[in-house]
Homo-oligomer: A and B are copies of this chain.
């Protein structure tokens, strides 16, 4: 396998790094050039399991990846509590930063990261893979169609999975010192992003956590929900959970049409993404014997969505590296808006489910 233009260094051997290692291999414009772990043995084991090519440098520390002059980009799938330290250091070493979500424990931390990226002229993007599926712009086309969809009125999103006993005891995502945001950071992040995506990133007026969230003994969220309200009457709700059978839904309802997708976070199949629409559906619109709505849209793709993500990131980095271009700032802006809503849900829970005004 030939090395491509943009060289990734990976910090840590998290399970999500397996999927994104595959993505970097599959994408046409980048390759993995270094992997750092807390021990060289772990790095070697991970590289072998994931069939890394021989040219990939393996390191027993994260620092060495950041000091490798051959590395353009670092992908950071570390526990959230370590993001500020390593993302900032990466930016200071002029490495572009692809940061796994949840990106930070709170907006203050995220702003430290974003400011470091900006100050050092490096590209930032969070690892929200579904944003890069070719299905996503097709869904946007439908939502933007004033005849087929009309005005957006209501959104509901769910991301849940039944994580199982071992996860609920041992995974970093239920440890308060590692991923204190629990299911809200891990799963709710996607729902919040989906809601903001559907509104074309128009921020809500208020965010209110729903009552009776579930926590583990250490106080980490295992399931919760929230509602978001806009002044024009738009309404959104979401539910995220580690305790509930796999669900990955967006339902966006407009005055004239509806859009539904049931596998937005990780498509059921790599090569195709489906979504379902109805339009101008009346009471007597279904001829007897006909199939009922919705209409299925199937978007074929040669690459899984995470490969589209690293390819898009590499394209932005290539533009900076080879053309002297400036970083694309929209990904920082979208990350920041998502984090603001995450923080508002946490604040609402802390204040006994009071609404939090978004300025």
Which residues of A approach B to under 8 Å, CB–CB? 150, 153-154, 156, 158, 160-162, 205-206, 208, 210-214, 223, 225, 227, 229-235, 237, 239, 241, 243-247, 249, 251, 253-258, 262-263, 266, 268-271, 274, 278-283, 286, 288-290, 292-294, 353, 355
Contacts and interface: CB of A to CB of B under 8 A. Distances in A.
A213 B227 CA distance: 12
16 contacts: A153-B243, A153-B244, A160-B253, A210-B227, A210-B237, A212-B234, A223-B235, A225-B227, A227-B227, A235-B239, A246-B282, A247-B258, A262-B292, A262-B293, A266-B283, A269-B290
Contacts of A278: 245-246
Given A156-B237, A225-B154, A211 B211 contact: no
Contacts of A150: 162, 245
A289 B294 CA distance: 22
Copies in the complex: 2
Q: Which of A150, A154, A214 has the most CB of B within 10 A?
A: A154
A150 B243 CA distance: 11
Given A153-B244, A223-B235, 13 more contacts: A156-B156, A156-B158, A162-B255, A210-B235, A212-B233, A214-B233, A233-B243, A244-B253, A245-B255, A247-B258, A249-B251, A268-B286, A268-B293
Contacts of A286: 268-269
A227 B211 contact: yes
A20 to B, nearest CB: 15
Closest 10 CB pairs of A and B: A268-B292, A211-B229, A212-B229, A246-B281, A153-B244, A214-B233, A268-B286, A237-B237, A210-B227, A154-B239
A288 B266 contact: no
Contacts of A292: 262-263, 268-269, 274
Contacts of A247: 251, 253, 258
A244 B254 contact: yes
A304 to B, nearest CB: 11
A248 to B, nearest CB: 10
A205 B353 CA distance: 15
Contacts of A233: 212-214, 223, 243
B237 A245 contact: no
